[in-house]
Amino acid sequence: MTAAPAAHTDRHPAGSPVGGRFAPTHHAESRPELAPAAPGGRRDATAGRFAPSVLDPSKVVHQETIDLTPVDDFGGGTRALAANWDLWDDWAEEAVERGRGRCTMCGQHLTFVHVMHHEDFGTFTVGTDCAESIGIAADLGTKVSRLRADRKARAENLKRATQLERFCADDTEFAEAATGADPDDETFDPLIADIVDSVRRRGTPTPAQRDAVVKAAARGRERRARLAAEAELPKIAVPEGRQAVTGEVLATRIEPNRFAYSGDVVKMLVRDDRGFKLWMTAPAALLGHDGGLKGRRVTFTATLEPSADDQHFGYGKRPTRAELLPTVESAGGGG
């Protein structure tokens, strides 16, 4: 008399290297799609090649471990930090079908996702338990522990980023000015970049930081507008020798000079109406007037010397017959 076949149970026989759902007999009997490979390495069109009884651990390399734990979004809800799955472009069909936030082997949703690469099948995702069951865990437990320890820091970073996003949404003037922190933006300003970097570390700007960013952005707009306007002006090479100069004082600066009676002199940058710039000592006749020199129109005679590096820039020496020209307001007033 032949014995009746034994009833199948989910318990794997004692002494088996693995048990439960990962036992080779369990997968072969209750999940035919995960059956072992056929002779010659050929497999069915189903997910059998990721069965624990089939996967060759020696062909698997760990790529990354990602924490998908939801964190407080500081808006009454939670959200997980986004995972950039596009970093890997050779995903196994089974991983895509399961979903890359799931274990390719068992289908469970994962909190800690281990991205693995099989040299024959491509990239797939697996949980720590499944990885341990087939001997590809290595130091994955340590990586998970580190991610748990870093979670608080990541949550704080998210909190500060969210605070800054909301501040920018409420203060569009600051948000627009803060684009100057981007090195790739044409409005880039190192001062704005330094302040915004500090703001990102605390979440929101102080009133002083907010005003400093907005003012720096305004100065940048004025500077770019001035340069654009100057680019449209005529330009000629600096004429040499004794010349009459009429133009606008663009800037002034006090510099030390041991030969001066007071110990320093006032330097000025003048743009001549013909289209060249001069750097020179400001004549005494132009000093001591209310409002300073910057922005005023002047006329004088000086000896000019072109710069060796820029034909449109030069130096003025020994100025004489210097005068301040009337401003538009003074010329039109008095009636």
State which residues form the domain around 219. 171-230
Q: Does position 56 have pLDDT exceeding 60, yes or no? A: yes
Q: Does position 330 have pLDDT exceeding 90, yes or no? A: no
Share of the chain above pLDDT 90, in %: 43
The two tokens of residue 259 are 């030969």
Residues 127 and 28 in one domain: yes
Residues 119 and 217 in one domain: no
Residue after which a domain boundary falls, among 230, 256, 272: 230
Largest interatomic CA distance in the chain: 133
Residues 108 and 190 in one domain: no
User: Is there a domain that residue 157 lies in?
Assistant: no
Residue from 60, 69, 61, 84 nearest 144 by CA: 69
Residue after which a domain boundary falls, among 99, 132, 147: 147
pLDDT band for 23, please (50, 70, 90 cuts). very low
User: Is there a domain that residue 96 lies in?
Assistant: yes
Residues 39 and 104 in one domain: yes
User: Is there a domain that residue 12 lies in?
Assistant: no
DSSP state for residue 102 in the 8-state scheme:
B
Q: Is 329 helix (H, G, I), strand (E, B) or coil?
A: helix
Q: What is the Cα–Cα distance from 65 to 110, expressed in whole angstroms?
A: 11
Question: What pLDDT score does 307 carry?
Answer: 93
pLDDT per residue as tens digits for the range 213-261: 999 999 999 989 888 887 777 788 999 999 999 999 999 998 887 776 7
Q: Is 98 exposed, middle or buried (0-12, 13-18, 19+ CB in 10 A)?
A: buried
Question: What pLDDT score does 245 carry?
Answer: 95
User: Is there a domain that residue 63 lies in?
Assistant: yes
Q: How many domains does the chain have?
A: 3
User: Is there a domain that residue 8 lies in?
Assistant: no
pLDDT band for 2, please (50, 70, 90 cuts). very low
Q: What is the Cα–Cα distance from 54 to 59, expressed in whole angstroms?
A: 12
Residues 310 and 247 in one domain: yes
Residues 30 and 131 in one domain: yes
Residue after which a domain boundary falls, among 230, 251, 279: 230
User: Is there a domain that residue 128 lies in?
Assistant: yes
More confident residue, 5 or 270: 270
Mean pLDDT value across the chain: 80
pTM above 0.95, yes or no: no
Share of the chain above pLDDT 70, in %: 79
Residues 115 and 198 in one domain: no
Q: Is 174 exposed, middle or buried (0-12, 13-18, 19+ CB in 10 A)?
A: buried
Residues 247 and 218 in one domain: no
